[in-house]
A = this chain, B = another copy of it.
Amino acid sequence: MAAEFDVDVTPTQTRSPREMEIIRSAYRTMAHSGSHRISLREVATEAGVSKALLLYHFGTKEALLFAAMKWALERTAVRIRGGLESASRPREQIGALIDAIFVDAEANREFYLFYLDLVEHASRSPGFGELSGTLDQIINGLFAEVIGNGVTDGVFSVDDVDVAARHMRALIEGTFLQWIQTTDWRESHSQWKSDCRVALLLLLGVVQDS
């Protein structure tokens, strides 16, 4: 709980290859067993290095977790933003967003379990709050942009673009929250995905066609 402020803010790009290996191992372990439960020993084993090396590179366990979470969030933000570029018309952009977000059952489950951990973590220690706050701004900004385009084109009709972006995000994350808890998450992934898309268009004031 002490000195929560001086978290390592090293840009993820400048990390050495070895550090990236460790970060990836940390994320993998975290996603698999929950960020609270993991020990340095587990991460070290996963990475095939000694426990002491993790501390050598990151100083503390907390700093390693922070770096791994940061990396995972940045990666996700980039992926979503990238998916958006493949579409130009608002209706298609929504589809592209959904495609970029609902990538694959395995990866989605890992990420959202990890994400829930992060939210819970963030609520207790301020440093992590900024982290998820950054993702928050990126995602909601992206959503707002797409919705804004749709409103301009007369395809969507919403009162407030930013509020609509929040609703959109709520719907998506809430969907994942329920989906994660199902036992048939592997098989039902695509069903939840299409249900979510339908609801989204409803929220944005689009008349459903197909």
**Could you say which of B132, B136, B163, B169 contacts A174, with CB atoms under 8 Å apart?**
B169
A105 to B73, CA, bound (A): 28
**Could you say which of B34, B117, B119, B203 contacts A180, with CB atoms under 8 Å apart?**
B119
Contact A113 B123 (CB under 8 A): yes
Contact B167 A171 (CB under 8 A): yes
**Could you say which of B116, B124, B136, B183 contacts A119, with CB atoms under 8 Å apart?**
B116
Tell me if A129 is interfacial: C-beta within 8 Å of chain B: yes
A interface size (C-beta, 8 A)? 38
For A136, list chain B residues within 8 Å (CB).
178, 181
Interface residues of A in 29-65 (CB under 8 A from B): 33-34, 36-37
Contact B113 A120 (CB under 8 A): yes
**Could you say which of B34, B36, B177, B181 contacts A177, with CB atoms under 8 Å apart?**
B177
For A183, list chain B residues within 8 Å (CB).
129
Given contacts A171-B171, A173-B174, A195-B167, contact A181 B122 (CB under 8 A): yes
Given contacts A136-B181, A170-B170, A170-B177, 4 further A-B contacts (CB under 8 A): A33-B124, A119-B181, A123-B180, A170-B173
List residues of chain A with CB under 8 Å of any chain B CB.
33-34, 36-37, 109, 113, 116-117, 119-120, 122-124, 129, 132-133, 136, 163, 166-167, 169-175, 177-178, 180-181, 183, 195-196, 199, 202-203, 205
12 A–B pairs (Cβ distance < 8 Å), ordered by A: A34-B120, A122-B181, A123-B180, A129-B183, A132-B181, A166-B195, A167-B195, A167-B199, A167-B202, A170-B172, A171-B171, A173-B178
